Amino acid sequence: MNAINLLSYSIPLLKTSTTGREALDLMSDHFVQHLPIVNNEQLLGIISEDDILENDEEESIGSYQLSIQQPPVKSSDHIFDVMAQIARSRLTVIPVVDDSDKFLGVISQQDLLKYFADSYSFSETGGIIVLEMSRTDYALSDICRVVEGENVAVISSFISRATEENQINLHIKISDSEIYRVIAALDRYGYNIVASYTEQPDTDVLKDRFESFMHYLNF
């Protein structure tokens, strides 16, 4: 999955003639804090809510000094690279250009969240188990065999840093919300289980977990 596949066509573009007040209204309408300034398919920059509030809202944004120097992502960039850039920059939208630097559109944090929720089974009913282990002990295939031995499937997983150096947390989503027998099986094989969740996450919980994942990418 590349950046070109996640373009949002609902996010508006700004012109240098747009006033600060108009830009603020558009940001409010679309629940973002940043918008691109574009002229004839050329990306001129990204303006933030703070940029506007530090200037005269009745003036055109073309007269503002912009604080954000974040480069755009390329249309061919992998979605993981897009995630890393959004995590580092803390932008609510990030511009996308082609290899000739022609502006193509933007990707929003919300669209990125929806993509991961839909594509990586985050929003499906099931159980979540968090294991802590050393990096050298990590072998997802071995863990999957233990889980599958209980007639349950691992439907998604990701790794985050643990509190101890050289340790990782492996988060696995399994197909059954009745996770106790899987936990017992993992325990028999010596895995260190540090957390488990059996409820289906609602939107707020899902967003919190996504933001934690984005924070991890920012390291």
Cβ contact 103:97 at 8 Å:
yes
Query: 139 exposed, middle or buried (CB, 10 Å; 0-12, 13-18, 19+)?
Result: exposed
pLDDT, one tens digit for every residue, the chain (219 residues): 899 999 998 999 999 999 999 999 999 999 999 999 999 999 999 999 999 999 999 999 999 999 988 889 999 999 889 988 988 889 999 999 999 999 999 999 988 888 877 776 666 778 999 999 999 999 999 999 999 999 999 988 889 888 888 899 999 999 988 899 999 999 999 999 999 988 554 555 555 666 666 665 555
Q: Which domains are present in the chain?
A: 3-117 (3.10.580.10), 124-200 (3.30.2130.10)
- Report in angstroms the alpha-carbon separations of 187 from 195, 196, 204: 13, 13, 30
Taking the complete model, does pTM exceed 0.85, yes or no? no
> What's the pLDDT at 64?
95
Q: Please list the alpha-helical segments (H only) found in 167-202.
A: 180-188
Q: Which residues of 16-38 are buried (b: 16+ CB within 10 A; e: fewer)?
A: eebbbebbeebbeebebebbbbb
pLDDT given for residue 208 in this prediction? 62
Helices (H), 126-200: 140-148, 180-188
Looking at residue 151, what is its pLDDT? 94
- pLDDT reported for residue 211: 63
